[in-house]
Structure 1
């Protein structure tokens, strides 16, 4: 047994262990907590809460949230049929807004995402025949890998939709000051409607119809064959042509 006084035994290690534990505790945000939820499989999701939702597809079902305790206490994760509904209880009148929270979900597939308000949704992949993204408010939706035959995106408000991957047919509509950033999404065919001040960017190799009645800009790169109706004041760049 080592003599504690010689600095080589447990007595010397104990202060270092206590210091490491203190540093780890200090690195954890004040009030941070974790909460698990029991759910069934889903392929559609509606997020009505001001939280960040991270969805991993192609795996088993799970749900876990971490963040501020007051947010987790008010957070609800429910599944009705194949629809996951993320909501949050309203606070008492005069109560402060809850702290930040991140909800991590996993499921087999996701083919429809609806986001209302100021939350954020990140999806690892959307694959298959049909996929739809509907956004309202100032929230953000991001899909890292799109592999769909048909994609429908509707954005109203100041949010942002970020898409990477491929689509057979892409139908994109924007009516608010937000942005559809799909310049890393390649479509074989596309239809774009811009009714407001927002911006749309897409890549396409095939027929593309663009109709604009607002002040927002539209950009289509790749090798598009363009049909353009510009009734607004925004700029439209489709392939090598400007409208």
Structure 2
């Protein structure tokens, strides 16, 4: 064995140990005790997953320094998820790392997301329900069951909705996209502006106002009233 090969052989265990030491640390975990809530507001750049089951609780996983900044506060039927700012944070050169928050909710009828995070909800139901998105985040609701639904979006985020509502009013602004093709609405009112493309679904009637350059498609076979004052396009009553 040459001198170079002997050196390489001796160095291999040392290099392996250094690589292991430099590898990513295992994610920390933090649990939160919560009181009952019907509304959730996410104002943090984290990934939130909400499922309908008992007991009401939450657990977050991620780097410890990021968990130290995470705040979950439930009061008066509302859960607010946010991030604290510490002195010197503006001088930090590396991000805190990704955080995932898993939440159990007994009953949820309102959800809003602000920022670049994500919010995924399995079920949203009530006589009156509300979904809101502000910023570049991603908001998904698997199954909505509501008499009256209000949807609001501002920015360039993405919203995906499923389920059914007797009536729905949607106010959409910006370059974001709404995919509500799986949300069957009896009577739909939609008012959109900006560059966003939207897929909606109406059963009985659809009143659509489009003011921007985006494309609006309404699935189903409703009675359509269309007011297109922008350079975009509106297709209403296109079937399934």
TM-score for the superposition, normalised by structure 1: 0.85
Q: Could you say which residue in structure 2 is the equivalent of 1:120?
A: 118
**2:193 maps to 1:195:** yes
Tell me how far apart the structure 1 counterparts of residues 141 and 179 of structure 2 sit (CA, whole Å): 11
Q: Which runs of 5+ in 1 are unaligned?
A: 1-24
Conserved? CA contact 1:205–1:222, under 8 Å: yes
Q: Could you say which residue in structure 2 is the equivalent of 1:102?
A: 100
Please list, as runs of the form range in 1=range in 2, the aligned pairs for 1:19-98 lying within 5 A after superposition.
30-91=25-86, 92-95=89-92, 96-98=94-96
Tell me how far apart the structure 2 counterparts of residues 102 and 70 of structure 1 sit (CA, whole Å): 14
Q: CA deviation at 1:150?
A: 1.1
Superposed CA deviations along residues 103-132 of structure 1, whole A, max 9, x for unmatched, are 011121111111111111111101121110
Tell me how far apart the structure 1 counterparts of residues 208 and 171 of structure 2 sit (CA, whole Å): 10
Instruction: Mark the CA change 1:157 to 1:53 in structure 2 (over 3 Å): closer, same or farther.
Output: same
Please list, as runs of the form range in 1=range in 2, the aligned pairs for 1:157-236 lying within 5 A after superposition.
157-236=155-234
Tell me how far apart the structure 2 counterparts of residues 123 and 78 of structure 1 sit (CA, whole Å): 18
SS of 1:70's partner is helix
SS of 1:72's partner is helix
Conserved? CA contact 2:218–2:238, under 8 Å: no
Tell me how far apart the structure 2 counterparts of residues 214 and 67 of structure 1 sit (CA, whole Å): 40
Conserved? CA contact 1:31–1:69, under 8 Å: no
Instruction: Mark the CA change 1:29 to 1:223 in structure 2 (over 3 Å): closer, same or farther.
Output: farther
Superposed CA deviations along residues 130-185 of structure 1, whole A, max 9, x for unmatched, are 11011111011101111111111100001111011111011111111001110011
Tell me how far apart the structure 2 counterparts of residues 136 and 100 of structure 1 sit (CA, whole Å): 20
Q: CA deviation at 1:58?
A: 4.0
Moved more, 30-39 or 47-56: 30-39
How many residues in Structure 1 have an aligned counterpart in Structure 2?
216
Q: Could you say which residue in structure 2 is the equivalent of 1:150?
A: 148
Tell me how far apart the structure 1 counterparts of residues 24 and 124 of structure 2 sit (CA, whole Å): 33
Tell me how far apart the structure 2 counterparts of residues 160 and 151 of structure 1 sit (CA, whole Å): 18
Conserved? CA contact 2:40–2:112, under 8 Å: yes
Q: Could you say which residue in structure 1 is the equivalent of 2:4?
A: none
Tell me how far apart the structure 2 counterparts of residues 235 and 202 of structure 1 sit (CA, whole Å): 14
Q: CA deviation at 1:59?
A: 2.6
TM-score for the superposition, normalised by structure 2: 0.86
